[in-house]
Amino acid sequence: MKTIISLILCIAAMQYAGAQNAFVLQIHTVGAGYQESLQNAFCKITQGDSTWYGKSNRSGLIYQRIYGLEDVRLEVSHGIFDSDELTIKLPRKMEDGDTVRRTVPLNFRKVTDLQQVNVLVPGVAKVVYQSEKLSVSDFELLSNGEILLLAYPKRLEKGSELLVFRNGTVLEDFKLQENPIELVRDYRGIPHVVCEHGVYGIHRSEGHVGISNIDKAYYMSYISPIIDTIGTKMYFSNFNPKYPAVDYLHYDQQDSTYKKILKVQDDLMMELYRAEYKWADIRTKLWAKKMEMETGIDKEIWVGAKDFTSSIYYKEVYAPMFERNDTLFVFDYYKDQLFSFDPNGDLIDSVAIYHHYQPKQTGWKRKLIQDQATGQIYAFFEKGGICFVRCIDVKTGLLGEKVVFEHKYIDKLTISGNLAYYIYRPYESAQKKFLYLSKLPFSFPESNVHQGSLISTETGK
- CATH superfamily label, 2-106: Immunoglobulins (2.60.40.10)
pLDDT of residue 70: 83
Instruction: List, as one string, the DSSP characters of 129-178.
Output: E--SS-EEEEEEE-TTS-EEEEEESSBTTBS-EEEEEETTEEEEEEE-SS
Predicted confidence (pLDDT) per residue in 203-226, tens digit: 777 667 777 788 888 888 877 777
Does residue 121 have a pLDDT over 60?
no
In the chain, CATH 2.120.10 covers 125-266+315-439
pLDDT of residue 145: 83
Residue type, 339: F
Predicted confidence (pLDDT) per residue in 403-454, tens digit: 999 999 999 999 999 999 999 998 878 889 999 999 999 989 988 876 554 4
Does residue 253 have a pLDDT over 50?
yes
Give the predicted TM-score (pTM) of the model. 0.69
Strand, coil or helix: what is 50? strand
More confident residue, 338 or 39: 338
Does residue 326 have a pLDDT over 90?
no
pLDDT exceeding 70 applies to what percent of the chain?
Answer: 87
CATH 2.120.10, domain 125-266+315-439, yes or no: yes
Predicted confidence (pLDDT) per residue in 260-282, tens digit: 889 999 999 999 999 999 988 99
pLDDT of residue 262: 92
Residues with Cβ within 8 Å of 179's Cβ and at least 6 positions away in sequence, in order, are 156, 157, 158, 160, 195, 196
pLDDT band at 13 (very low <50, low <70, confident <90, very high): very low
Predicted confidence (pLDDT) per residue in 79-96, tens digit: 667 888 888 888 777 777
Does residue 111 have a pLDDT over 50?
no
More confident residue, 124 or 10: 124
More confident residue, 121 or 181: 181
What mean pLDDT is predicted for residues 93-122?
Answer: 65
Predicted confidence (pLDDT) per residue in 57-77, tens digit: 878 899 888 887 788 888 988
In the chain, CATH 2.60.40.10 covers 2-106
Distance, in Å, from the CA atom of 385 to the CA atom of 32, rounded to the nearest integer, reads: 52
What mean pLDDT is predicted for residues 224-231?
Answer: 74
Predicted confidence (pLDDT) per residue in 14-55, tens digit: 444 444 567 888 888 888 765 678 777 889 989 888 888 888
pLDDT exceeding 90 applies to what percent of the chain?
Answer: 29
What mean pLDDT is predicted for residues 363-389?
Answer: 93
Distance, in Å, from the CA atom of 123 to the CA atom of 129, rounded to the nearest integer, reads: 18
Task: Confirm if 374 and 322 have CB atoms less than 8 A apart.
Answer: no
pLDDT of residue 451: 55
Neighbours of 197 (CB within 10 A): 8
